[in-house]
């Protein structure tokens, strides 16, 4: 059999990718692509601030730690940074319980630190995305302190209260409550308050126009400081039917249908757009996109004058069990969403965030023999799909799940309270802990692995969450020195995306839909494009040439040093990822 090995060694593509003024103009930039926008062409790097870099030795990451690493962030080639909440907070849910929306959490630093961070990002051509958590506040926010003090307090109607004399309100589910109950009795005024999340996170009453104005004023405060975008946490839940009727039997199978996308949501978003978003050069993405494509389009289509970008969770539902997932299932989710948004609206593309396990442990293969290749392959997927990519800190290194064995090791309120709920329900606790070990949010929150020293160079103190023991092998310092590392591959892939607009705006066509190992697709725009081949398995995989379009033999990028092609097949090595220019 005649065989040829394509062994083009890809030169590093602009390792100073973040230096905007040194980059070549991307292909297609001058072609007047309809709907072009900076936030569509961005690459977002999500940082969990508690876990990125600790500058003062207290074991908690902070703003000055991020400032220390701005050059590193710039060299990644990302164009935006999204920080999880940094506001003043009692930390019942790691900052998602906010007690002052105009102050910085003391653990993270000061407002002066924030201003310096923002200026440092902007001077490097990197924009900043602020997390806005306004479905609920902390119970220690002054609004709630006032609200619960008496029934006739001016702030009473800032939250959802149900007077006890009316009887117990109809059941509502709480994600973080030990009993799953969203109504909490408060004896001070003999009433129940609503909390879709933890008891210390009472839901704000968006039906009150004063609450909405408070939120818009907060967003204006940060926009005036120069923030470039907002991520709205749990926003699809803000609108409620305040009569709180009994939910129909079987509602649990369609929770979002009954808890999300409430009756006033679109009105609130249109109002937010008029009051805030249209007044500044910012973009806004909302966590969650409803329960259907129609819901998602109604939130983000340009003619709706609401939000700019959909952030759907269906992809995160893939593989949420110890049984793993099938590639067919994975392809189906991402292909259906791309098709639904091919002509209108805009999507986010991501495989990890602060609420899910590490990307390589869930979707790739974190065994030492395959971790690097599968990490590169997954980053190739994120950075070659249509939509704005979100890359989670540490995934550029191939950081893995930490794998706690006992409930005492967990810090996350969802894990701890979920454990108590499972106990009370008589569940198989050994099985529960196995699932938690794999799926826990703490897996994705362990400290960034900077070097092989004690605590991975994250802190000189005791880290708030243990550092993964594999930091001796997986760390920035080691990967900086290796041209074939996950880190340097990520930089190359980020630069490739920015250099070729067909990877942002181009059409997507799925190939080999029934193949159980290979995810193959093309990205094309105005006569330019690439064939993307991703082997999602730990075995070699053959892609038949007669099912593929014509391609040039020199790869745009390849996570292995060569590509094996014969007369009939391209044979991909385990977890190989390659982009080939189309003829």
- φ and ψ at residue 512, rounded to 5 degrees: 50, 55
How far is residue 365's CA from residue 401's CA, in Å, rounded to a whole number? 11
DSSP structural state of residue 289: B
Which one, of 486, 489, 477, 416, lies nearest residue 451 by Cα? Answer: 477
The helix (run of H) or strand (run of E) holding residue 504 is: helix 502-505
Q: Say if residues 158 and 222 touch (Cβ distance below 8 Å).
A: no
Within a 10 A sphere around the Cβ of 150, how many other Cβ atoms? 12
**Is 480 in the active site?**
no
The active-site residue out of 107, 113, 203, 287 is: 287
Q: Say if residues 480 and 504 touch (Cβ distance below 8 Å).
A: no
How far is residue 379's CA from residue 385's CA, in Å, rounded to a whole number? 10
How far is residue 220's CA from residue 413's CA, in Å, rounded to a whole number? 31
Question: Strand pairing of 388-392 and 348-349?
Answer: parallel
For tokens 């310096």, the residue is 116
**Is 233 in the active site?**
yes
In 290-428, which ranges are continuous DSSP H helix? Answer: 293-300, 314-317, 327-340, 359-362, 371-382, 413-424
In 304-412, which ranges are continuous DSSP H helix? Answer: 314-317, 327-340, 359-362, 371-382
Burial class (CB in 10 A: 0-12, 13-18, 19+), 545: middle
The active-site residue out of 233, 306, 365, 515 is: 233
Active site residue ranges: 233, 287
């Amino acid at each position: 059999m005649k065989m040829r090995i394509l062994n083009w060694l890809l030169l590093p593509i602009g390792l100073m990718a973040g230096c905007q003024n040194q980059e070549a103009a991307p292909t297609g930039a001058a072609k007047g692509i309809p709907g072009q926008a900076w936030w569509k062409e961005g690459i977002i790097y999500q940082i969990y601030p508690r876990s990125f870099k600790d500058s003062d030795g207290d074991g908690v990451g902070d703003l000055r730690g991020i400032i220390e690493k701005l050059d590193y962030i710039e060299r990644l080639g990302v164009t935006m940074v999204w920080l999880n909440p940094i506001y003043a907070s009692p930390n019942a849910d790691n900052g998602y319980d906010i007690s002052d929306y105009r102050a910085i959490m003391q653990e993270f630093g000061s407002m002066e630190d924030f201003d310096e961070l923002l200026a440092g990002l902007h001077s490097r051509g990197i924009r900043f995305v602020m997390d806005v958590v306004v479905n609920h506040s902390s119970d220690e926010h002054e609004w709630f302190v006032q609200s619960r003090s008496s029934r006739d307090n001016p702030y009473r109607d800032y939250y959802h209260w149900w007077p006890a004399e009316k009887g117990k309100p109809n059941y509502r589910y709480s994600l973080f409550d030990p009993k799953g109950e969203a109504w909490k009795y408060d004896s001070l005024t003999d009433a129940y308050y609503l909390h879709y999340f933890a008891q210390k996170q009472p839901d704000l009453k968006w039906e009150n126009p004063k609450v909405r104005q408070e939120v818009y004023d907060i967003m204006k405060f940060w926009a005036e400081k120069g923030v470039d975008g907002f991520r709205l946490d749990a926003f699809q839940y803000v609108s409620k039917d305040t009569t709180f009727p009994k939910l129909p039997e079987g509602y649990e199978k369609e929770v979002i249908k009954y808890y999300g996308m409430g009756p006033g949501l679109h009105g609130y978003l249109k109002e937010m757009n008029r009051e805030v978003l249209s007044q500044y050069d910012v973009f806004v993405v909302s966590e969650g996109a409803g329960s259907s494509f129609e819901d998602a389009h109604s939130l983000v289509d340009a003619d709706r004058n609401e939000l700019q970008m959909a952030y759907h969770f269906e992809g995160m539902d893939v593989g949420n069990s110890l049984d793993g997932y099938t590639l067919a299932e994975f392809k189906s989710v991402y292909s259906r969403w791309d098709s639904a948004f091919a002509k209108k609206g805009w999507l986010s593309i991501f495989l990890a965030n602060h609420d899910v396990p590490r990307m390589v442990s869930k979707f790739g293969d974190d065994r030492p023999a395959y971790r690097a290749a599968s990490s590169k392959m997954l980053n190739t997927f994120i950075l070659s799909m249509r939509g704005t990519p979100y890359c989670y800190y540490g995934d550029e290194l191939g950081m893995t799940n930490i794998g706690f064995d006992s409930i005492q090791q967990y810090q996350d309120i969802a894990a701890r309270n979920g454990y108590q709920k499972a106990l009370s329900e008589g569940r198989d606790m050994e099985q529960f802990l196995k699932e938690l070990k794999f799926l826990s949010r703490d897996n994705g929150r362990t400290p960034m692995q900077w070097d092989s020293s004690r605590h991975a160079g994250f802190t000189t103190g005791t880290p708030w969450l243990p550092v993964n023991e594999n930091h001796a092998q997986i760390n920035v310092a080691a990967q900086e020195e290796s041209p074939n590392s996950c880190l340097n591959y990520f930089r190359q892939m980020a630069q490739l995306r920015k250099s070729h607009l067909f990877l942002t705006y181009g059409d997507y066509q799925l190939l080999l839909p029934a193949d159980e190992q290979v995810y193959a697709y093309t990205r094309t725009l105005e006569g330019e494009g690439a064939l993307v081949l991703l082997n999602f398995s730990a075995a070699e995989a053959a892609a038949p040439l007669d099912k593929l379009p014509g391609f040039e033999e020199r790869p745009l990028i390849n996570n292995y040093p060569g590509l094996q092609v014969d007369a009939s097949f391209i044979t991909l090595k385990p977890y190989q990822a390659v982009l080939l220019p189309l003829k």
